[in-house]
Amino acid sequence: MSTAAFLTELATTAADKTEVLATSVPHGHGPVVATGAWGLAIWALVGVYVILVAILACFGLHRGMLVSTCWRKRAKLKEIERTIVLPEDQLPRVTIQLPLFNEATVAQRLIETVALVDYPRDRLEIQVLDDSTDETATIARQACERCAAQGVDITYIHRVDRTGYKAGALANGLKTAKGELVAIFDADFLPQPEFLRQVVGHFADPKIGCVQARWGHMNREHSMLTRVQALMLDGHHLVDNRARWANDMFFNFSGTGGIWRIQAIADAGGWAHDTLTEDLDLSYRAQMAGWKFIYRPDVVTPSELPEEMSAFRAQQFRWAKGTVQSARKLLKTIWNNDSLKLSQKIEATYHLTPHFTSPLMLVLSVLLLPMLAILPGTDPRSMFLIDLPLALSTTGSLAAFYMHAEAVQGRSALVALRRLPALMAVGTGMAPWVTKAVLEGLRSMAGEFVRTPKKGNEGDRYRATIKIPVAEVILSIVSLASTVAAVQNGHWFAAPFAALFCFGYGYVAALLIDEQLERRRAERRSLVPVP
């Protein structure tokens, strides 16, 4: 981003002005050469910046390679989008697990939807795995009773200790599961009636351990925040997952909207709760045990996106912290596994470390101000011959990534391009929060599994906790100063990216503050007596 322009400036400066410009600072009407301790400090700052840029550039290059893979292997990817129809008497027995925890707004909807799945009644079992401590328990139990009265094989299992959180509930359900396959749906998902018939045919191949389907988004157009989230998830499902599957690399069961062979879970060591991303952890252990995964992008399960920034942050925090924990747990084993190809090990490393880009971006946004204030702007020739191509190439992979994700599902690639600045702003604004999650993941394993609040039919029933976004406000001000410095010193390609940092941090802070104020207004309204 602004990194490309900065690297170009360094290269041009080194070639044309040697180290005089690279270690100069504004003084009166012109630069003076920095020497001694000040010069060393500037070079140290430059060195740190360049290292961070190089690491981020590697992630950008990798993203572009995933898009290239999807394009090169589009024939193979298209081939997997087909349903293998099995004779009725050969359909395997399936257990559907529905893990719940305080999901009063969506529990009944989920249970009643799953009860309508089109599959032989004598080969389908539904387990409602409820750890709830509120009225969800009553709602779910009554919904199960109504479905059972209609002839559905449904079991309500309630735990009071919540040991292992979601992973513990799933493992507990497997103790009594009747199926040879197990499908899993979180509370905010609504599987289509034909889901099982579309995916169970793949398990005729005894090597298949898991089939993951794509997530849909029921409330995609609710707001700019939900549109950005949908675009992010489309990129993960329609580029990340498809490219990894096409290249025979490891990818993960996404925790919901997929189906497992129970034997594969057992062979991998079962569900573990020493990380907050039990799905990612189990996926890698199963694939290292020799099981194959399939990704079906044409099978879509609608779901609900968080509509509040606080809820979105709660979700992203858990995913980031859990992914870092899984990286701590798995990477050494992956690199010591002689049966894996080098390309698989490299891809697994990229897959397990994407959230480390957030602390890198956070540091870069802070370093940007002194760098723009110290270094002089480049001349017009350098800007158009070097800066512009580099700036376009660094953002190009990001644009190609999300444009491809939208195009492949029949949506407009130009819409993805128009929403790209908002996506970049949200990603930047989330950097402080994700950085906190990364640090916690590095410091400790496991932790409390904090559910993502779901609106369902009762929008205000569950809300995520909000803290005053002090870090975001401060960083927005710092980035505003960077924008001013970029304009004043002629860093024309850096200026828009500094402004993007400013907007991103400010946007996230503004949404959180607005949500907090709205809750206080709602509390005051609730205290006003009804006439």
- pLDDT band at residue 6, thresholds of 50, 70 and 90? very low
In this predicted structure, what is the pLDDT of residue 447? 72
| Burial class for 295, CB neighbours closer than 10 Å (0-12, 13-18, 19+) | buried
Residue 460 has pLDDT above 70, yes or no: no
> How far, in whole angstroms, is CA 210 from its chain's centroid?
20
Q: Per the domain annotation, does 87 fall within a domain?
A: no
Predicted confidence (pLDDT) per residue in 370-396, tens digit: 888 777 666 566 556 555 555 555 678
pLDDT band at residue 465 using 50, 70 and 90 as cut-offs: low
Task: Let me know if residue 127 belongs to a domain.
Answer: no
How far apart, in whole angstroms, are the C-alpha atoms of residue 520 and residue 245?
A: 47
What gap in Å lies between CA 500 and CA 385, rounded to an integer? Answer: 24
Q: What is the pLDDT of residue 208?
A: 98
Domain assignment present for residue 181? The answer is no
- Reply yes or no on whether the pLDDT at 452 is more than 70: no
Residue 410 structure tokens:
């029949």
pLDDT above 90 (res 461): no
* 8-17, 135-144, 365-374, 391-400: range with lowest mean pLDDT: 8-17
Q: Give the residue ranges of DSSP H helices in 259-308.
A: 262-267, 278-288
For residue 518, pLDDT beyond 90: no
Nearest in space to 124 (alpha carbons), one of 210, 214, 195, 209 = 195
Query: Is the pLDDT at 3 greater than 60, yes or no?
Result: no
- Domain span at residue 36 reads 1-72+207-531
Q: Is 84 inside any structural domain?
A: no
Residue range 193-238, pLDDT digits in tens:
999 999 999 999 999 999 999 999 999 999 999 999 999 999 999 9
Tens-digit pLDDT profile for residues 14-43: 334 334 333 444 433 344 445 567 777 777
CB atoms within 10 A of CB 375: 24
pLDDT of 528 above 60: no
The neighbour count for residue 272, using CB atoms within 10 Å, is 17
- pLDDT at site 4: 45
Q: What percent of the chain has pLDDT over 90?
A: 70
Task: Calculate the average pLDDT of the chain.
Answer: 87
Report how far apart, in Å, the C-alpha atoms of 238 and of each of 195, 281, 292, 396 are: 19, 21, 19, 18
Residue 494 within any structural domain of the chain: yes
d(CA 147, CA 373): 67
Spatial separation of the C-alpha atoms in residues 135 and 103, rounded to whole Å: 9
Residue 450 lies in a domain: yes
In a domain, 104, yes or no: no
DSSP codes joined into one string, 83-116: --PPPGGGPPPEEEEEEESS-TTTHHHHHHHHTT
Q: What is the mean pLDDT of residues 324-345?
A: 96
CA-CA distance, 91 to 45, in Å (whole number)? Answer: 63
Q: Looking at residue 464, what is its pLDDT?
A: 59
Number of domains in the chain: 1
Specify the pLDDT at position 31.
41
Region 410-417: what's the mean pLDDT? Answer: 91
Structure tokens at 432: 């402080």
44 — pLDDT class (breaks 50, 70, 90): confident
69-124: pLDDT as tens digits: 999 999 999 999 999 999 999 999 999 999 999 999 999 999 999 999 999 999 99
Average pLDDT rounded to a whole number, residues 143-152: 96
Residue 114 domain-assigned (yes or no): no
Q: How far apart are CA 301 and CA 258, in angstroms?
A: 9
Q: What is the pLDDT of residue 451?
A: 65
Instruction: Tell me the torsion sign for CA atoms 381, 364, 225, 302.
Output: positive
**Residue 267 CA to its chain's centroid (Å):** 27
HSE-up of 133 (CA within 13 Å, CB side)?
4
Q: Which residues are catalytic?
A: 131, 279
In the 8-state DSSP scheme, what is residue 157?
E
Cα 52 to Cα 220: distance, rounded to the nearest angstrom? 34
Please give the pLDDT value at position 463: 60
Q: Name the pairing type of β-strands 124-130 and 24-27.
A: unpaired
